[in-house]
A and B are shown apart, each in its own frame.
Chain A
Amino acid sequence: MNFTKAINNASGLLFQGLQITVTVSLISILIGTVIGFCSCLLGLSKWRGLRLISKFYIWVIRGTPMIVQAFIVYFGLPQLVHQLISPDFRISAFSAGVVTLSLNAGAYLSEIFRGGISAVDKGQIEAARSLGMSSMRTMARVTLPQATKIAIPSMVNQFIITIKDTSILSVIGLADIVNKAKVYVGGTYQFFETYILVAVFYLVIISILMFVSNKIEKRFNYDKKKG
């Protein structure tokens, strides 16, 4: 075992990969949250057609492995576009990775948001409506703040999964930390040291995320706040 050597030689490479991992995760979490929120609203719509769109999306994403989704986006989609629209179309591993991860996170977050919204006490909504607030206003002022509190732990869980799932994208050539590690061990055979280092990197990022989310969760603890 030679950790000193691994740290000295691999760190640069791993940090490059880490940057990609963090960037892809952050962008995907942001886009995924927006997609999830929109899908959740579609799912709660009174029009059946809109509800079906949301259901179908969630059904497809949850029912297929992410690695297959990544292959479809990275290899399949360009082929389709070449044949149908433009032969010049290209998609980078980075873009394909973000698309795949965002769609993936979006589907799960949509269900998390839906669960949060439906867990809000109906009496809270009736009280707002009885005061003359419209359903939109009620959603914005009463339902969503309370749904967010309910949903935060599951959201954080999904964010953690998204960060870790970036590693799967190394199969389409995304230069993330796992990919860089593979390159390094290919030349040095320092499997144990390198992958332990990778694990530590992941632990650090996820610990930071958990620290931040705990702070945020505290701000939403209105049922424990002292006025």
Chain B
Amino acid sequence: MIRKKDNEKIIVRGVHKHFHDLRVLRGVDLTVSDGEVVCVIGPSGSGKSTLLRCINRLEKVTEGEIIVDGISLTDKSVNVNKARENIGMVFQNFNLFAHLTVRRNITLAPVDLGKMTKSAADEEAVALLRRVGLEDKIDAYPHQLSGGQKQRVAIARALAMKPDVMLFDEPTSALDPEMIGEVLQVMKQLAADGMTMVVVTHEMGFAREVADRVIFMSDGLIIEEAPPKEFFANPREARTKDFLRRVSSN
């Protein structure tokens, strides 16, 4: 796939990540283009989540370079807080601020960081909640929401900062099966709207349907990557075939 250089939203170059003796990432290279949806799959412990967390520096890389929107996240002199404003993240466990209402969850960062006035942020919260279908929950506290609702609010919260890139760390893994659909639906819409997304997921159906590219990781390395059709129809590597066989047999 050949793309123009200025089209590159995320560049990961030669990234290693060690936790003491454990080598979680062992030289990962990845480029994500503007508007591209990349799904990262692989067995647990393969380093998928760590890679995602390195992209917004929730984990510091041991070696290598990560550039998002032209800003190096691995450069120590870069203001990482400023860079993170542009990188939305959605967590497996939602991590909604438990002490704040849905509205305040969404408006806290934009108002506190001076990105919006309070009234503008409130309007934005209403608009975002409408987008994820939860306008009626604006004054609810997180404990009053179901898992699927929490995750949709979490997506709205991340979008409130108007990021250029969204990272999803197994967004449906903690959900009851009947709630997975509503979250994937929101993500599909987001992809259709042109958001650049990196999604670590176990939802093969989502990867097949929404991804522009599927990446298979194992043992801290990217083993294989291809457009979903090709990836699922003709996996080349033995480890990919083995993984897909085990996933589909479930």
Give A residues with C-beta under 8 Å from B: 121, 123-124, 126-134, 137, 141-142, 145-146, 149, 220, 222-227
Contact = CB atoms under 8 A, between A and B. Distances in A.
A222 B140 contact: no
A145 B143 CA distance: 16
Interface string B151-169: 0001001100100000000
A71 to B, nearest CB: 44
B64 to A, nearest CB: 20
Nearest to A131: B109
Contacts of B99: 142, 145-146, 149, 220, 222
A226 B84 contact: no
Given A124-B95, A126-B95, A227 B101 contact: yes
Contacts of A124: 95, 97-98
B161 A222 contact: no
A123 B101 contact: no
Interface stretch (B32-40, B86-94, B200-208): B86-94
Given A124-B98, A126-B91, A227 B109 contact: no
Nearest to A126: B58
Most buried by B among A129, A132, A145, A224: A132
A93 to B, nearest CB: 43
Interface of B: 56, 58, 81-89, 91, 93, 95-102, 108-109, 112-113, 137, 139-141, 143-144, 154, 157-158, 161
6 contacts: A121-B95, A129-B81, A131-B157, A132-B82, A222-B100, A227-B144
Contact of A227 (B140, B154, B157): B140
A227 B113 CA distance: 25
Contact of B95 (A123, A137, A145, A223): A123
Q: Counting chain A CB atoms within 10 Å of each CB, which of B87, B89, B99 scores highest? A: B99
A142 B89 CA distance: 17
Contacts of A123: 91, 93, 95
A133 B113 contact: yes
Contacts of A130: 56, 58, 84, 87-89, 91, 158
Contacts of B143: 222-224
Among B81, B82, B85, B101, max chain A CB count under 10 A is at B81
Given A128-B109, A132-B161, A222 B102 contact: no
A137 B83 CA distance: 16
A132 B84 contact: yes
Given A126-B58, A141-B108, A227-B140, A131 B102 contact: no
A222 B112 contact: no
A124 B144 CA distance: 17
A139 to B, nearest CB: 12
Nearest to A133: B109
A141 B112 CA distance: 9
Contact of B141 (A129, A149, A223): A223
Kindly list the 4 A-B residue pairs having the minimum CB-CB distance in the complex, ordered from nearest: A132-B85, A127-B95, A131-B109, A227-B140
A149 to B, nearest CB: 7
Nearest to B139: A227
Contacts of A146: 98-99
Contacts of B154: 127
Contact of A223 (B89, B98, B108, B113): B98
Contact of B158 (A131, A222, A227): A131
Contacts of B96: 127
Contacts of B144: 226-227
Contacts of A225: 141
A149 B100 CA distance: 13
Nearest to B85: A132
B84 A129 contact: yes
A180 B154 CA distance: 60
Nearest to A148: B99
Given A121-B98, A132-B109, A142-B99, 15 more contacts: A121-B95, A124-B97, A128-B97, A128-B109, A130-B56, A130-B84, A131-B108, A132-B85, A132-B113, A133-B81, A149-B99, A222-B98, A223-B141, A227-B102, A227-B139
